[in-house]
Amino acid sequence: MITFSAFGRSIGRRCAGNSKPYFSQLFTPESNLRSPNSSLWQYQNLRTLLLQSESECVKLHKLSDSDSGIVEVNLDRPGVKNAIGKDMLRGLQSSFEAISGDPTANVLMICSSVPRVFCAGADLKERKIMSSAEVQAYVNSLRSTFLYLEELDIPTVAVIEGAALGGGLEMALSCDLRICGEDAVLGLPETGLAIMPGAGGTQRLPRLVGKSVAKELIFTGRKVGGREAVSIGLVNHCVPHGEAHLKALEIARNINQKAPLAIRMAKRAINKGLEADRVSALALEEECYERLLNTKDRLEGLAAFAEKRKPKYTGE
């Protein structure tokens, strides 16, 4: 049986110095995968084995009826406050790949099935028995997984009730939107353990709250509550305890009513545009806009407006 640690070491090496998620590195031309002796063939089969291994810690749920198009990923590891161990990481990877390949998915919500906790971060008990090389491979895989989440072409929403710490907050930072309850506790406490945020926290947090505030939170490991989190721009909305899912679902339903292709192009223009200079970013906006001009949905939107009715978008 292939162990996850061996797979982790292999993907860790492949991810080193590469900004793309390791998932994308495994999609290669068919001609390169024909030989069972080729490393590419072996990687592809490792990936298949990984995706076939279901995790009990992560549950993928597609909403139905009027909410068709909204997908939920539920974290469910109550004994350790949803700490991200190898099995949960495998479940997250599998779920995100499934969503990426589902053309009917329009919005993703990441939720917790465990009361009063979103995700406590990495599984430190599991981490304690890892070698340094295994820890590095695990963190590389975690970073790649969150980058893959960030680069999904549909909107993503983190639904935070209770603790979102370390890797748990880094996962939330990888989402487009964050909704929290008043009792939420958010922080990156890694420096207190003689390490630092390694799954994107040092890059995504300052882009949200500013360099100075991010440095204070990371250097001190200070945790913030829901009200402070919304005041510094760390989350989009802070609602009474127990109502974060309702608020997130309200936003997801609003997004789900819009034209899917328009949402995808808007997300691409924003995310990629922020990485470019102003002129290049405006050119990207023009390109994304042009890709919507000949869609059936654009014609449907105009027709619905003229006929004073709700549009029925199909994503075409």
Annotated catalytic sites, by residue? Answer: 122, 167, 170, 190
- 8 A C-beta contact, residue 28 and residue 40: yes
